[in-house]
Every structure is written in C-alpha cells, then in structure tokens.
Amino acid sequence: MNTVGPYHNLQETYNYFSLPFCKGPQKEIEHYHESLAEALTGVELEFSGLDIRFKRESDKKGFCARCIPLDGHCCCLSEKSCLCARARAGRTAV
C-alpha cells in the first residue's frame, strides 16, 4: 500500500493508513524486493497486513468491522457494526 486519492485530482494524495481502514491480520511479508523504480522515486510502500493471492480461487472473508461517522450517521462496513449504528441513530438529538 502506498497512497490513495481521488481520480479527478492525482496530486491530492493521502497516506493509506491515515484513513479509517483496518489493517489485516498478517504480521509480515513473505517475500518482497524493492524495485529500482521504487528506490529512485522514493516510494515507501506500507504493509497492509492482507494476504492477497492472485490467480487463485478463494472464498469471501471479512477481517474487521468499522463504523465511520458520515454526516451525523454511521456508514458501516459490515452488517454486525450496522446494528450498533442503528441503535445510536435512534438516540440522536435533532
């Protein structure tokens, strides 16, 4: 992982983990070599903690749940976390 940002403004970038995303459960990278291009451009990749295997079949699985405040409501990233958000939404003063 490196940075994320909007498609319409490529110069507006944010560190991936400055946003409220979850880190994966894996603690270290099995095998990684920095490329010459990464070294010359000063790109510093951050480990996401996700074990992503390409060109392999895998089942869908979750690894965390987050509730993100958005305009006074919660945007939930899993159904379990939405239950607590609905309870809080009922108590919100108007």
Digit-by-digit pLDDT tens for the chain (94 residues) are 577 888 898 888 888 777 767 777 777 777 677 788 878 887 777 777 777 788 888 888 777 776 766 666 666 655 554 444 444 555 444 3
Cβ atoms of residues 2 and 44 within 8 Å: yes
Q: How many angstroms separate the CA atoms of 63 and 23, rounded?
A: 9
Q: What is the pTM of this model?
A: 0.44
Q: How many angstroms separate the CA atoms of 84 and 72, rounded?
A: 14
Tally of residues, the chain: 94
